[in-house]
Amino acid sequence: MNEKCAVVGVYDASTAARGAADALKVMENRGSGATGIGGITDEGKIQYMREAGAAGDIWDDERVAELATWGLVAAVGHDRYATSGRDDAHHQPAESGIGDQQILLSHNGNLSDTRQLSLDSVYRGIRVDDVNDSEMKTRAIADRVAKGASIEDAVEEVFPMLTGAFSTIIVSNNRNGDPVLTAFRDRHGVRPLALGRTAGGLMVASETMGLKAAGADFVRDIEPGEMISISPDEIEIRHLAEPDPKFDMFELIYFSRPDSEFKGVPIADIRRAMGRQLAIEHADKLSDDTLVVGVPATAVPFGQGFAEQSGLEYRQLITKNPEVGRTFMAPTQALREALREIKYLFEADMIRDRNIAFVDDSIVRNTTAAFITRKLKSYGALSVSVFSGSPPIRFPNFYGIDTPEQRHLIAARKEIDAIRDDIGAAYLGYLSLDGMMQSVYDITGEPPENFEVSCFTGHYPITVDPANLRRIRQPVSMQFVA
């Protein structure tokens, strides 16, 4: 899987550039292929800087000091991993417009069907043959601003043509030439976007930890279908569409930081609750002498909850090499496998002669589960059982997670027992879909119908380009999916 990016916007002259940089550095878990920060000064001048690489490497003190010399009043930032277009191009924030009518736009998500937007662009004479979905959206909005529309009116006009998942932040000028920061989400709220208050203004970010890192206090989430526009004189709120919440469950399973929050609950606590449910569903497969370990780092809370519920010992026998990033973001399978060999460190002495249950957040291609099982056995484990904190992933995701081709998803091609044999495990257990939804509801109060779970079920709540749908095949089994 490739992740879908982080966005941040800051309207605060005292901290716009540094606040954006600090937020992006703690949200690079959402994308480390490229990063960018841009904004607008109190004189209406647009400035931006975009670089390939992870935010933590790019936004060092020297680079942030350079940003500070621009005197930005409003800033917008982006951490990118490609879900559309080449990975070495299309870095954000994207820019479009003429003179003092330019806009900078950052987009988290993916437009699953761009046919209507493409037709509108052709009709208006906007070139779109060299752009990805984010840039197409940028040009459509900028074209309307250039023709005299306010940024708010331009977004509202384009919004009905934006089919897919998007949390979007824009900086621009209003009709008086004042800086404006505008943020909006799709009507389903698939991708997260949180509003916070800084000492001297407001900011928005993909995760609550992005707000906290910049010194902002969480106020509330931007609602699905809502637009907030911040200028010197007012905060304008418009509801662009009737909300129909479908938050991406994979934000809770994998992508969001464990110290960020959803509905006021730390992500780590939600994962721990799912781990407890996983243990309940497979209690009869556990012996009293089993040692539980979570695969670092995302799956650690799953493993802890699993051990708590089952009354088994938990030890972190597998640790992550801090020099290696998230291997799923590597561009090729060969590189992912090479990185995996040095990504995990094992405590061999604690593994020998033990029955091990290792818990992961998910199983996608089956490369990590098989690798860890092999390593545990090589260190003398008596047996290895594998547990997944989510149901089998059998369908592509078109809303911002660049899931591999369906043919690469192991659960789309093989029965559960066959996957277990491929892993080399004594037992393989997945969390059921019903169990996952119930455990999340119990701890957050968010009902199952408010989540996007197409990668498990194949049911797509937002229109997807028919060309992509035609490539989907029925999996060999739908076990663990109610």
Beta bridge partners of 110: 165
269: enclosing H helix or E strand: helix 267-281
Are 293 and 317 spatial neighbours (Cβ–Cβ below 8 Å)? yes
CA distances from 274 to 315, 390, 412 (A): 19, 8, 23
Residue 138 CA to residue 121 CA, distance in Å, equals: 11
Q: Which of 1, 2, 3, 5 is catalytic?
A: 5
Which residue in 8, 52, 186 sits closest to 109, CA to CA?
A: 186
Beta bridge partners of 106: 169
Are 468 and 84 spatial neighbours (Cβ–Cβ below 8 Å)? no
CA distances from 235 to 142, 152, 298 (A): 21, 11, 37
User: Residues, the chain, total?
Assistant: 482
DSSP string, 318-374: EEE-TT---GGGSSSHHHHHHHHHHHEEE-HHHHTT-EEEEEES--SSSHHHHHHHH
Residue 59 CA to residue 91 CA, distance in Å, equals: 15
Whether 455 is a known active-site residue: answer no
Helix H segments across 124-260?
Answer: 133-146, 151-158, 208-213, 249-250
456: enclosing H helix or E strand: helix 454-457
The label of the residue with tokens 């009354």 reads: 311
Beginning with the edge strand found earlier in the chain, give each strand of the sheet holding 427-430 in spatial order.
313-314, 290-294, 355-360, 383-388, 427-430
Amino acid at 115: R
CA distances from 24 to 39, 54, 192, 326, 481 (A): 15, 9, 15, 16, 36
- Tally of CA atoms within 13 A in the half-sphere of 133 that contains its CB: 25
Q: What's the gap between Cα 110 and its chain centre?
A: 11
Amino acid at 95: E
- Tally of CA atoms within 13 A in the half-sphere of 452 that contains its CB: 26
Q: Are strands 6-11 and 202-205 parallel, antiparallel or unpaired?
A: antiparallel
Are 360 and 388 spatial neighbours (Cβ–Cβ below 8 Å)? yes
Residue 366 CA to residue 336 CA, distance in Å, equals: 12
Positions marked active-site: 5
